[in-house]
Structure 1
Amino acid sequence: MAERWFVKNIKANYKQIAQKYGITEFMSKLIINRDITNDEVIRSYVNPSLERLRNASDMKDLDKAVNILKEKIQLNKKIRIVGDYDVDGVISIYILYTALVKCNAKVDYEIPDRIKDGYGINKDIIQQAKEDGVDTILTCDNGISAIEAIKYAKDLGMTVIVTDHHDIPFVEDENNNRKFISSEADAIVNPKQEDCRYKFKQLCGAGVAFKLIQVLYEKFNIDKEEAFKLVEFLAIATVCDVVDLVDENRIFVKKGLELINNTSNLGLMELLRECELNEKKLSVYHLGFIIGPCINASGRLDTAKVGLQLLLSKEEEEAVTLAKGLVRLNEERKEMTMKGVETAIEIVEMNGMINDKVLVIYIPDVHESLAGIIAGRIREKYNAPTLVITKSEKGVKGSGRSIEEYNMYEELIKCKDLLQNFGGHPMAAGFSLQEENIDEFRRRLNRNTDLKDEDLLRKVTIDCALPLDSISYDLINDIERLEPFGKANSKPLFAEKNVNLIKAVVLGKNRNVLKLKVKTKLNKVIDAIYFGDIYEFEEEVSNKYGKEELLKLYDGVYNGIMMDLVFYPNVNEYNGNTSIQIVVQNYR
């Protein structure tokens, strides 16, 4: 796939920054490249510690919410937490439930069913709570846009506290001016509210719940270390909800990983064992691609309560059974996803959609909970905004994943007359419509878009040119200090032009790893490893240099193959030996 390579070139006084924060100039450059320029944020970035967390009471309505909860607990009123069925929702409930139990609250929880209830709190859930004698509803990871449902709860005489991190709903007048709307809830805690002076707006749902708990514990004279113990769970939600890994989120994930690696939570221990991770040092990858999806699988294919029960389990036998069940469900989900992705690719390539700028793919029989995952995979393959639609109980439902150049939420607003429901943000959205409107929806999205061909080229952003000869263990240590990597704190990438490849060998049981030896400008030899499409690599080499040269490369015989490489350096540890190697991300 064609790519555009960019080298970041931000002007700054790196020497001065290095002196001020006690870091190297190289590290200063990488930090500035990530748009981290505010003094306070740089300090917390260089030394992430729980002591650097922001003051929770700055969040609008947070103290008010805590005071209501304290009063309800003292009056022994029944509190019900209503969360969401994804990882962030499950962990938000876990954090609130664990903390409220610790404060001796009379508390239980409810999670909407993805298929039956759909997202967020609704009238049925409120009606049921009323019948169960619930006095106070506490939402997490949802509730900001439940205007009608919350009005209903208030009419029934209930107290409602909302904790959420989603965008604030609005109505538009005829001139497209937006007026933000809010519900009648007794307290609304969400840093994205216009008049909230909390500086960091990118918390996930569990992050907002955690800030509430910090103050609740203070009110009940519980040691703040007890709140910090919940950070290991918060790290999972923060990674899985793909929020920016800077500021407080970076602290949560960095500290949370340290805690998870020594977790005493029975459910988590069993899940790690079941996923064969109990001997490994866990990283962001393990949270985002192994642990998170297992917790998520129950909300997709069964009920999200299973994931929550796992984290709450007190008996080893129960934890083992639930962990095994979740891993099995996740395997099933992976298989269903793979089939869905194959079908989607077939539809795009057989139905002449390959020239569409915005891909709208209808797969009636795919499980509706997998539409978003499939949309994400297709977006990765074609680097185009992708919306996957499936049949649901009432009409059809869809989920979209976008690219930086396309604000999906804003584009859906332009088609709102075709949609029954929709919501989301620039990079992802959910919606529902009638089946007969799908073709018109596809036409309209493509007609409205001002995406150009070059917007659909994959962008490769390089931090700086880095001669292979200047890679050292110290430099790699500097890069490692920037971890954990993720959204808004991407893994640094470097490039060098005209690198001579001198030997290649294909490894791995699926023959999916290419190990190279490359020559530096000072004639040193270092190892390089590539995990991409090997067949495509061989094609490109053969087309440019001929089959002969490719064979020489595999034989380790002198050849003329030169490439520009984009890579990141790391340390390879094998059989007790350590050496520097580069991991090749892109080549040309």
Structure 2
Amino acid sequence: MIESKKRWRMEQSDDQIVQHLQQALKLPPVSAKLLASRGFIDVDKTKAFLNMNETSMHDPYMLHDMDKAVTRIKQAIANEELILVYGDYDADGVTSTSVMMTALQLLDAQVTYVIPNRFVDGYGPSERLFKEAYEDGVNLIITVDNGISGVNEIQLAKELGMDVIVTDHHEAGEILPPADMIIHPRHPLGNYPFGELAGVGIAFKVAHALLGEVPKELFELVAIGTVADLVSLHDENRYFVQQGIKQMRESKRPAIQALCQVAGTEQNLIDEETIGFLFGPRINALGRLADAGPGVELFLSTDSVEAMSLAKLLDTHNKERQGIVSKMTEEAIAMVEAGETGLDPHVIIVAKEDWNPGVVGIVASRLVEKYYRPTIVLGLDSKKGVAKGSGRSIAGFNLYNELAKNRDILPQFGGHPMAAGMTLSIEHVEELRNRLQNQAEETLSEEDLQPVQKVDISININEIDLKSIESLKQLGPFGMGFPKPMYCIERVNITSMRKIGANQNHVKMELADGPHTLDAVGFSQGNLADELTPGIEVSFIGDIQINEWNGRKKPQFMIEDAKTDEWQLYDIRGIRQVNRWNQIIQPEQTLYLAFNQKTIQHFESLLNVSITLVSGNQPSPEPKPYIVLLDIPHDEEILETILTHIQPKRIYAHFYAPDSTYFEVMPSRDHFKWYYGFLVKRPSFDLQQHVNKLAKHKGWTTSTLFFMTEVFFDLGFVKMNNGRIDMQETAVKRDLAESMIYQSREQQMQLEQKLLYAPYMELRQWFDKRLAEQTVPEEEQQWI
């Protein structure tokens, strides 16, 4: 048995709806199944979703204050007023700044931009930078991807005499800033039909309204910011990303070409994963470690040499960021494992001096992945007495709302239900930990704390071909709100399996369902090669992709998780190096069983675990899900009783047998007859002295002679005295089978044949039959 790492929640789809979509839209079965599982029922709406066009975009003037903002901006342009675009240091903020700058430059505005430094100014509007803007002669500030939480700072800007237009998409607080205009898709006085725009999406809507037409050349920037900021890919966000990816694949923009080169990817293959895993982290790395301004310069650049230089700078910072994240994550995990966040925390809060506040969000995400708990990671600055950090959450715990309940100790915070940033006094860190722990205990159930993996559809191997996979790609882009599909392949066999990779930490398999086969790869899943055994049916979840090698294309399943309810037999017979097999066993869940005292003496120093001796006068131990059979029992029945009592989920069969008799010849009745006649003619025979000569004469082994002698002694035919055999003249005639020694030898050879030397599948079948029996009554469990 192997339990899945997460609870799989399988979505259900109506077969009739699947068939209807498949026929009406000419879709392969897998694509129709996926759409149906995600709630697509109506053919016309599904068709519109699959074939979005410019009508998918909403009128930008539907956004609250858009008309006023456009009027004020055009007035500033006409009067040659200095405009400041005030951005943010993440990928959304950088692209938002770039979009707004491009639109204003196209209108010949007197415009500049600034992006706050995370370490100096923190997130959002900065009094310092607003004062500098005033001194530089700025008349109008336009915030992009921030500003909704900058109540005091914007009040200062107004007092200095500057006008402020806020464009933002983050959660608004109870008090809105005193800006002249606030353009927000969820403005309390607005009625915009789609509230999930990214900051760059709102900047794009402003650009659209200002220019009087759709600035199509900016779709690629909107796509980058939208994907990188993890907003929902529904409605016009989906259209933005579709068009942006299409544009990027043929883009002449130096920034796109340079990013492809430093990321090592083909421009014509750009997709949402390229943005999310290659472009986004490099853009974000600037603001995490230093000044994010070069990101804006990269996107505004028209010179390929300059763009390449800037892209290399982004790449260098990203590599540095990766090293910092790795070190901080190791330190954070060590703190959690040491119990510094509590013994059984519902919320994890870790804090340490000098942790880089630019990467705490990434570290928080890593901890959520590992522990599945809402997590906040804080960098402490003891000189200033301040803790700055970032949090990531899980389903069922709205991090923004829960933080909002603690405004009295959180002077600065903002974000979303699943992610937030904050600044607080160091002296309030423990108080925040205690409060959030109590809030989480009230909010989250035990089930909420178990990670769930949504599985879209179950598919058969024979449904997976190149055409189906290509069709699935057409359903993209995938992301937040419309995630990359997760597929399940149920109860298939593994026909081959091996570890791959330099560190042997990945696995490659061939899966089979009847005559149909499919290649499968699991990255960082090398443990499956140790845990999965032949002859069982396994279910997998993961993604399906096309693997291209030497010009050949084949479907390939990318394993995310696996499980099987079947018991498993691990064949570790003949592996003398104990460490080779013991390292894959979980000792706390395992009973190590031996049937001979000598076996315990042999293994106790090698295994460093408790070994249970199976004998006839001790009570049964508490069953555990796994057992290791270190040696072979004397009696088949005692092993059968063990199996029915424990009903193990895993059996590790080692069967150490230093005195194996299987390959020794069992003397025939003719052997015994000749030997008995030989002894009758010599009433007293010194076997110890003549055993070698006699063995050579008959072509037998000396052990065969000693064994037959022991049988005769057991039957009362002879007496033995210091190696001398004396015949018993009054011995009663008895059958060889009456000898316990003879029976034991015969039984031992049969057991060795069944257990020690049988092929794997025969051994499994032997165990299968015994495990199918009912558990024996407790009063009969006296085998130990």
Structure 2 length-normalised TM: 0.67
Percent identity over paired residues: 35
Match of 2:280 in 1: 292
Tell me if structure 2 keeps the 8 A contact 1:235–1:257: yes
Match of 2:437 in 1: 446
Tell me if structure 2 keeps the 8 A contact 1:17–1:25: no
Tell me if structure 1 keeps the 8 A contact 2:86–2:115: yes
Question: What is the distance in 2 between the residues matched to 1:418 and 1:149?
Answer: 19
Given the superposition, is the C-alpha separation of residues 189 and 414 from structure 1 closer, same or farther in structure 2, using an over 3 Å criterion?
A: closer
Match of 2:9 in 1: 6
Match of 1:477 in 2: 470
Give the counterpart of 2:123 among 113, 119, 124. Answer: 119
Task: Give the drift of 1:81.
Answer: 0.7
Q: Which moved more, 1:382-391 or 1:404-413?
A: 404-413
Given the superposition, is the C-alpha separation of residues 70 and 270 from structure 1 closer, same or farther in structure 2, using an over 3 Å criterion?
A: same
Question: What is the distance in 2 between the residues matched to 1:381 and 1:89?
Answer: 29
Question: What is the distance in 1 between the residues matched to 2:24 and 2:263?
Answer: 44
Question: What is the distance in 1 between the residues matched to 2:407 and 2:42?
Answer: 39
Match of 1:400 in 2: 391
Question: What is the distance in 1 between the residues matched to 2:110 and 2:161?
Answer: 19
Question: What is the distance in 2 between the residues matched to 1:80 and 1:232?
Answer: 23
Q: Does 1:585 align with 2:560?
A: yes
Q: Say what the alpha-carbon RMSD is for the aligned residues.
A: 2.3
Given the superposition, is the C-alpha separation of residues 114 and 235 from structure 1 closer, same or farther in structure 2, using an over 3 Å criterion?
A: same
Which consecutive segments of 4 or more residues in structure 1 shift more than 6 A? 37-41
**Which residue identity is paired with 1:292?**
G
Question: What is the distance in 2 between the residues matched to 1:538 and 1:420?
Answer: 51
Match of 1:82 in 2: 86
Tell me if structure 1 keeps the 8 A contact 2:249–2:267: no
Question: What is the distance in 2 between the residues matched to 1:122 and 1:25?
Answer: 54
Question: What is the distance in 1 between the residues matched to 2:263 and 2:489?
Answer: 38
Cα offsets for 1:518-573 (capped at 9, x unmatched):
111x32222112123312x24433xxxxxxx4xxxxxxxxx313211123333222
Task: Give the drift of 1:87.
Answer: 0.9
Give the counterpart of 1:65 among 66, 69, 84. Answer: 69
Task: Give the drift of 1:127.
Answer: 1.8
Given the superposition, is the C-alpha separation of residues 434 and 126 from structure 1 closer, same or farther in structure 2, using an over 3 Å criterion?
A: closer
What are the residue-to-residue correspondences of 1:82-481 with 2, within 5 Å?
82-170=86-174, 181-218=175-212, 224=214, 227-278=215-266, 281-351=269-339, 353=342, 355-392=344-381, 393-449=384-440, 450-481=443-474
**Which residue identity is paired with 1:578?**
K
Cα offsets for 1:215-244 (capped at 9, x unmatched):
1111xxxx63xx111011111101110001
Given the superposition, is the C-alpha separation of residues 41 and 192 from structure 1 closer, same or farther in structure 2, using an over 3 Å criterion?
A: farther
Given the superposition, is the C-alpha separation of residues 524 and 2 from structure 1 closer, same or farther in structure 2, using an over 3 Å criterion?
A: closer
Q: Which moved more, 1:109-118 or 1:470-479?
A: 470-479
Q: Report the 3-state secondary structure (helix = DSSP H, G, I; strand = E; otherwise coil) of the residue aligned with 2:128.
A: helix
Task: Give the drift of 1:422.
Answer: 2.0
Match of 2:538 in 1: 563
Match of 2:519 in 1: 527
Tell me if structure 2 keeps the 8 A contact 1:384–1:456: yes
Q: Report the 3-state secondary structure (helix = DSSP H, G, I; strand = E; otherwise coil) of the residue aligned with 1:369.
A: coil
Q: Report the 3-state secondary structure (helix = DSSP H, G, I; strand = E; otherwise coil) of the residue aligned with 1:355.
A: coil
**Which residue identity is paired with 2:417?**
P
Larger relative contact order (CA 8 Å, sep ≥ 6): 1
What are the residue-to-residue correspondences of 1:465-544 with 2, within 5 Å?
465-520=458-513, 522-535=514-527, 537-541=528-532
Q: Report the 3-state secondary structure (helix = DSSP H, G, I; strand = E; otherwise coil) of the residue aligned with 1:206.
A: helix
Task: Give the drift of 1:19.
Answer: 6.1
Tell me if structure 1 keeps the 8 A contact 2:222–2:244: yes
Q: Report the 3-state secondary structure (helix = DSSP H, G, I; strand = E; otherwise coil) of the residue aligned with 2:353.
A: coil
Q: Which moved more, 1:474-483 or 1:85-94?
A: 474-483
Task: Give the drift of 1:312.
Answer: 2.0
Question: What is the distance in 2 between the residues matched to 1:15 and 1:60?
Answer: 43
Tell me if structure 1 keeps the 8 A contact 2:63–2:184: yes
Cα offsets for 1:102-149 (capped at 9, x unmatched):
111111111111111111113222222221111111111111222222
Given the superposition, is the C-alpha separation of residues 317 and 32 from structure 1 closer, same or farther in structure 2, using an over 3 Å criterion?
A: same
Given the superposition, is the C-alpha separation of residues 279 and 191 from structure 1 closer, same or farther in structure 2, using an over 3 Å criterion?
A: closer
**Which structure is larger by alpha-carbon Rg, 1 or 2?**
2
Q: Which moved more, 1:338-347 or 1:467-476?
A: 467-476
Gapped runs of 5+ residues in structure 1? 171-180, 542-548, 550-558
Equivalenced residues, count: 554
Question: What is the distance in 1 between the residues matched to 2:105 and 2:45?
Answer: 34
Cα offsets for 1:408-439 (capped at 9, x unmatched):
11222333333332222210111222223322
